[in-house]
């Protein structure tokens, strides 16, 4: 499957990926409304990791062996056998954060207001996820790369 | 033996995390071999941890379902629900149901889970005394709440706190009686327990530690409990939440059993073609380096998954599990794994407190062997996996408890190869999908 990879050496931590992710997952898809009008700013499904001068943008890696899916207490997390995308059913998630306890990337984003997790969905309907498409420095790469050694659970 | 006995290729006893994990693994590698799942519970697989939510807000069974309603049909699994198995014959590869029907199998998984620990306290069999493990337990408590406004919960562990969370939302008066000096004393250290204690009390719950219930009294119901020091606490309901023991009754005398059914690294029991996982099993714990009962949901699923592959002939080794829990009750997020208190002086303890955030790791010889995260648990998995992968952390151990902890806190070699695109020379030829759309590397 195609995944999002980073090129840390050219990431300057501008947070544009985050802004576009928020916009994409907002109700209105309107930048001003999404950030100033909607009931609670939409959450980005990625986060910027930094240890200056190191920056990179991090989100769910849709692991081949998804520890979060196996650990999920409610069955809210699934890995689509066809696309490989790991999805969360936000109506089933109760926010126990067991997924966070097993995610080696620390990629789980808790939505504490609604007490459920949100995650990268690789932007359904888009050819290229919006974080990648809007990265000014090509610090994000959307590509199908055979994983040299799939992460074992 | 009669030839007309039904026979399946895979028989799974137990319809919760372990059983479903096995069934899903089997179907990944064997699309057609017959599978039957037997459970004495009448429901399709549901999320046991959600029974607290059921109690709180009577959420529907549909919302509690662990898998979609068409799971059994879609996977061609025969679900024998509400059926009890009376006897297991490992030599003849048969089980006998309580109604006398026999069922043959080629490979068997025992994932029968646990049973609540019920102490021999006087009055424990009274009406109004409940355990809290299954949906039926939650339903029974829910019904009985019509007659009850004051509840005593015996046990301040995970089950006790979980039932309390549900009950608080029903507006009843609750007292937790904990035998040891603090609640959640198995999964948390002192500081984290104190934070949990505060959060639970803030919800109006009374907590009595260092006490046990000596007697449950009442005529035709419960009217009070008497503690070991003679104090009486008036109440109309008691929930026994001491813990679970492996439900080994089918295996007794047939499979090697210690506290639970002993399994090897392939989740195989002492008997050929018989596997076990979940709360009933004693499987490898990678922290203690030995078999232990670790009755937690994720380990049940993983053990089941490994068992399922092996049952279907795909040899798969269990990496092991350890005690691990993540909870979000009473507005407090808590995650812990491994050893939360040092066994002796040979451990190094690192901890830090930032307001309502608490973080602790326990090290042994430079390796993480235990962790507690409170107040902010979203990156706890990074530490958990350092522990599971047995990564030596001496060089960056302080980063694990720093306020700003994340993947970038780790040495490069621990994150770069996993999230960076490989350099051009390592990209296999299939990497470029669209003509003209070069993969940007370097």
Q: What is the mean pLDDT of each run of 10 residues along chain A (153 residues)?
A: 94 96 88 74 92 94 95 98 95 96 97 94 96 96 75 50
pLDDT at B4: 73
Best of A102, A113, A144 to substitute, by most chain B Cβ atoms within 10 angstroms, is: A102
Instruction: Judge if A86 and A129 occupy the same domain.
Output: no
Please tell me whether residues A21 and A34 are part of one structural domain.
Answer: yes
Taking the CA of residue B266 as centre, how many other CA atoms within 13 Å lie in the half-sphere pointing to its CB?
15
Query: Which residues in B lie closer than 8 A to residue A152 (C-beta atoms)?
Result: 319
My answer on whether A45 and A99 are in the same domain is no
Cβ pair A8:B379 closer than 8 A:
no
Give how many domains chain A has, as a whole number: 2
CA B155 to chain centre: 17
Contacts of A109 (CB under 8 A, 6+ apart): A43, A44, A45, A46, A47, A117, A118, A119, B378
> Average pLDDT of B221-227?
97
Identify whether A150 is part of a domain.
no
Do A19 and A37 belong together in one domain?
A: yes
In a domain, A136, yes or no: yes
Look at B417 and A96 and tell me if their CB atoms are within 8 Å.
no
Residue A96 lies in a domain: yes
SS3 state of residue B328: strand
- Distance of alpha carbon B49 from alpha carbon B56, whole angstroms: 12
Closest chain A residue to the Cα of B16, Cα to Cα: A73
Nearest by CB to B430, which of A7, A98, A144? A144
Phi, psi of A49 (to 5 degrees): -95, 135
**Do B418 and A151 lie within an 8 Å CB cutoff?**
yes
How distant is the Cα of A50 from the closest Cα of chain B, in angstroms? Answer: 6
Q: What pLDDT is recorded for position B257?
A: 98
Q: Using an 8 Å CB-CB cutoff, list chain A residues near B47.
A: 73-75
Kind and range of the H or E run holding B303? helix B297-311
> What pairing do the DSSP bridges indicate for beta strands B150-154 and B173-177?
parallel
Q: How confident is the model at residue B3 (pLDDT cuts 50, 70, 90)?
A: low
Cβ of A100 within 8 Å of Cβ of B378? The answer is yes
The answer on A79 and A55 residing in a single domain is no
Contact between chains at B297 and A98 (C-beta distance less than 8 A)? yes
Cα dihedral: A103, A106, A107, A108 (round 10): 70
CA-closest candidate to residue B370, choices B341, B344, B409, B397 = B341
- Number of neighbours of residue B1 by Cβ within 10 angstroms: 9
CA distance B101 to B6: 9
Of B1, B112, B25, the C-alpha closest to B10 is B25
Q: What pLDDT, in 10s, does the model give residues B240-285? A: 999 999 999 999 999 999 999 999 999 999 999 999 999 999 999 9
Residue A151 lies in a domain: no
pLDDT at B439: 42
Residue-range definition of the domain harbouring residue A101? 64-119
Tell me: do A69 and A48 sit in the same domain.
no
DSSP reduced 3-state for B86: strand
**pLDDT category, B423, cuts 50, 70, 90?**
low
What's the pLDDT at B166?
Answer: 97
Q: Which of B298, B305, B408 sits opposite A50 (nearest CB)?
A: B408
Closest Cα of chain B to A136: distance in Å? 13
A84 and A101 assigned to the same domain: yes
Coil, helix or strand at residue B84: coil
CA B114 – CA B48 distance, rounded (Å) = 12
Which range has the worst mean pLDDT, A5-9, A40-44, B207-211, B378-382?
Answer: A40-44
A92 and A17 belong to one structural domain: no
In this structure, are residues B233 and B227 in contact, taking their beta carbons and an 8 Å threshold? yes
pLDDT > 70: percent of chain B: 95
Residue A53 preceded by cis peptide, ω within 30? yes
Q: Within this chain, do residues A79 and A115 fall inside the same structural domain, yes or no?
A: yes
Average pLDDT over all residues of chain B: 94
Residue B328 has pLDDT above 60, yes or no: yes
CB atoms under 10 Å from CB of B253, counted, come to 8
Q: Examine the domain organization and report whether A93 and A106 are in the same domain.
A: yes
**Is residue A152 a part of any domain in this protein?**
no
Average pLDDT of span B404-414: 95
DSSP codes, B162-197: HHHHHHHTTT-EEEEE-SSSSTTTTTS-HHHHHHHH
Q: Is residue B192 scored above 50 in pLDDT?
A: yes
Question: Does B434 score more than 50 pLDDT?
Answer: no
**CATH number of the structural domain spanning residue A20:** 3.30.70.20
- Does residue A80 form part of some domain? yes
Establish if A110 belongs to a structural domain: yes
Of B335, B407, B419, the CB nearest to A101: B335
Looking at residue B5, its pLDDT comes to 85
Looking at the structure, tell me whether residues A16 and A48 fall in a common domain. yes
**Average pLDDT of span B312-322:** 96
Within a domain: residue A103? yes
Cα distance between residue B267 and residue B283, in whole Å: 7
Q: Are residues A56 and A129 in the same domain?
A: yes
- Per-residue b or e along A29-45, where b marks 16 or more CB atoms closer than 10 Å to that residue's CB: eeeeebeeeeeeebbbb
Tokens of B97: 């149901």
The pLDDT of residue B438 is above 80: no
């Amino acid at each position: 499957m195609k995944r999002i990879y980073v090129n840390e050496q050219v990431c300057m931590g501008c947070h544009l990926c985050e802004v576009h992710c928020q916009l994409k997952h907002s109700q209105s898809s309107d930048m001003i409304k999404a950030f100033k009008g909607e009931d609670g700013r939409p959450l980005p499904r990625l986060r910027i990791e930094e240890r200056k001068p190191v920056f990179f943008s991090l989100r769910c890696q849709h692991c081949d062996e998804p520890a979060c899916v196996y650990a999920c207490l409610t069955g809210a997390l699934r890995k689509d056998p066809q696309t490989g995308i790991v999805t969360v059913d936000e109506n089933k998630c109760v926010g126990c954060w067991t997924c966070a306890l097993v995610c080696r990337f620390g990629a789980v984003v808790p939505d504490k207001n609604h007490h459920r997790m949100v995650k990268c969905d690789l932007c359904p309907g888009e050819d290229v996820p919006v974080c990648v498409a809007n990265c000014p420095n090509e610090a994000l790469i959307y590509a199908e790369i055979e994983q040299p050694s799939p992460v074992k659970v | 033996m009669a030839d007309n006995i039904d026979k399946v290729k895979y028989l799974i006893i137990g319809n919760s995390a372990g059983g479903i994990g096995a069934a899903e693994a089997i179907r990944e590698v064997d699309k057609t071999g017959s599978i039957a799942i037997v459970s004495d519970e009448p429901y399709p697989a549901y999320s046991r941890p959600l029974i607290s939510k059921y109690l709180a807000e009577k959420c529907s069974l549909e919302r509690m379902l662990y898998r979609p309603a068409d799971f059994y049909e879609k996977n061609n699994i025969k679900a024998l629900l509400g059926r009890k198995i009376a006897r297991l014959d490992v030599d003849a590869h048969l089980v006998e149901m309580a109604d006398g029907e026999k069922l043959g199998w080629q490979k068997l998984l025992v994932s029968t889970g646990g049973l609540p620990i019920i102490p021999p306290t006087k009055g424990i069999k009274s009406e109004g005394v409940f355990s809290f493990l299954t949906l039926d337990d939650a339903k029974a408590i829910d019904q009985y709440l019509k007659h009850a406004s004051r509840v005593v919960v015996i046990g301040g562990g995970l089950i006790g706190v979980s039932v309390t969370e549900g009950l608080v939302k029903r507006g009843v008066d609750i007292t937790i009686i904990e035998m040891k000096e603090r609640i959640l004393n198995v999964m948390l250290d002192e500081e984290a327990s104190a934070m949990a204690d505060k959060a639970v009390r803030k919800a109006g719950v009374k907590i009595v530690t260092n006490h046990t219930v000596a007697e449950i009294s009442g005529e035709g119901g419960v009217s009070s409990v008497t503690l070991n020091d003679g104090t009486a606490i008036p109440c109309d309901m008691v929930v026994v939440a001491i813990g679970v023991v492996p439900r080994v009754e089918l295996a007794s005398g047939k499979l090697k059993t210690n506290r639970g059914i002993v399994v090897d690294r392939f989740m195989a029991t002492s008997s050929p073609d018989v596997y076990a996982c979940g709360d009933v099993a004693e499987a490898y714990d990678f922290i203690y380096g030995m078999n232990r009962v670790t009755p937690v949901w994720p380990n049940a699923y993983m053990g089941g998954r490994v068992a399922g592959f092996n049952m279907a002939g795909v040899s798969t080794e269990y990496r092991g599990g350890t005690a691990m829990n993540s909870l979000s009750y009473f507005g407090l997020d808590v995650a812990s794994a491994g050893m939360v208190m040092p066994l002796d002086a040979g451990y190094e303890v690192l901890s830090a407190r930032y307001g309502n955030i608490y973080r602790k790791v326990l090290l042994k010889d430079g390796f993480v062997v235990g962790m507690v995260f409170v107040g902010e648990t979203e990156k706890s998995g990074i530490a958990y996996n350092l522990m599971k992968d047995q990564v030596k952390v001496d060089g960056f151990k302080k980063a694990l408890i720093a306020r700003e902890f994340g993947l970038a806190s780790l040495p490069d070699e621990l994150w770069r190869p996993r999230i960076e695109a490989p350099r051009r020379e390592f990209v296999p030829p299939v990497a470029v999908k669209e003509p003209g759309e070069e993969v940007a590397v370097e």
